[in-house]
A = this chain, B = another copy of it.
Amino acid sequence: MGSPIASSALVESVLAGQMSAIARLITHAEVGGEVCQDALAEIYRHTGKAHIVGITGVPGSGKSALVARLCKMIRGARRRVGVIAIDPSSPFSGGSILGDRIRMNELVEDTGVFIRSMATRGALGGLARAALSGVDILDAAGYDVVLIETVGVGQDEVDVVQAVHTTVVVSAPGLGDDVQAIKAGVLEIADIHVVSKCDRPDANKTITDLKMMLQMGEQPLQENNWKVPLISTSAVSGEGIQELLSIIDGHLEALKLSGDLQIRRRRIAETRLLKSAENILRDEFERQQEGKISELTNRMMSGNIHPYAAAQILLNQVRGELEL
């Protein structure tokens, strides 16, 4: 992909749905770099057809098993499905997620399914951008449904979740109070609630607790009168998976009918525009103002100037230059 010609050949292969080309372009998107921008710009022109679904839940909530089940169900209906799993592993822990990945492997022989893990390590800040580029690529490559699996904590995750059409929040029985507390922060972003592992004896308590928490929050109806449903599923028995898929599909229909799909798509576009502008500004700023930054850091260290005040001085200096 060193030259524009190679880049455009790669894009054509992606648009034709070639899995090796898709994998290569996603890798380019992860690594970043200028060459890749042309390809991604071309890809973006072919997006807008897929249903983008976020699957969010704390570690241990059984997201991956649920995603694997959903993939099979979607394939059963002859639709193509892509998955971007934002994976908090690092080279240190290569082995420790195999439990989940092995379940995924049942799907790898099927060309109608594309699954890609992205590590958070080394990509902090750039992760959301890479994940959203991955979604664009799968969308343009003709996958009907694109699932993004995330743990739903932190800014990167929020950026990703803000860029989906339908958000599924997964809770599970048997997790500690501390874990459940983390989950609470994302409850309100749900379009659909799932209590997974409903084959477990303590699942009923989790469902009751969750219903109580949702009422306590006095959740209003969403703008489009969508009443957020709560479904219990079991990746072991397959219970509830078909129902979940029907509801995911139903949510897209509801968004279309109410006109909210267009509103969500607009919000996604605006958010991505602003994030991109911010990234470009930050890169240029750090490159061009190195001397000033060093000098102001010295002043912060010696005179204990507050970072905010120092930042204002820095920006005033930069503006002074621009106005000359």
Contacts and interface: CB of A to CB of B under 8 A. Distances in A.
Interface of A: 37, 40-41, 44-48, 58-60, 64, 87-93, 96-100, 119-121, 124-125, 151, 153-158, 175-185, 187-188, 213-214, 216-217, 265-266, 269-270, 272-282, 285-286, 293-294, 296-297, 300-301, 303-312, 314-315, 322-323
A187 B59 contact: no
B273 A178 contact: no
Given A124-B158, A155-B154, A276 B92 contact: no
Nearest to A322: B322
Given A41-B306, A60-B179, A300 B273 contact: yes
A49 to B, nearest CB: 11
A276 B311 contact: yes
Contact of A59 (B154, B179, B276, B306): B179
A92 B304 contact: no
B278 A88 contact: no
B154 A308 contact: no
Contacts of A185: 88-90, 119-121
SS class, residues of chain A in contact with chain B: helix
28 contacts: A40-B306, A44-B306, A44-B307, A45-B303, A60-B175, A90-B187, A90-B188, A92-B216, A92-B217, A93-B213, A99-B177, A99-B178, A100-B178, A120-B185, A121-B185, A154-B154, A269-B297, A269-B300, A273-B300, A274-B311, A276-B308, A276-B311, A277-B311, A279-B311, A280-B308, A280-B312, A280-B315, A322-B322
A91 B218 CA distance: 11
Contacts of A90: 181, 184-185, 187-188
Given A59-B179, A304-B44, A278 B282 contact: yes
A51 to B, nearest CB: 17
A185 to B, nearest CB: 5
A297 B270 contact: yes
B178 A59 contact: yes
A180 B311 contact: no
B92 A177 contact: no
Contacts of A323: 322
Contacts of A278: 278, 282, 285
A295 to B, nearest CB: 11
Contact of A270 (B158, B184, B293, B304): B293
Nearest to A262: B301
Contacts of A177: 96-100
9 closest residue pairs by CB, A with B: A154-B154, A93-B184, A276-B311, A272-B307, A41-B306, A277-B311, A44-B306, A155-B155, A88-B182
Contacts of A216: 91-92
B276 A310 contact: yes
Contacts of A47: 304
B280 A59 contact: no
Nearest to A284: B315
A214 B59 CA distance: 22
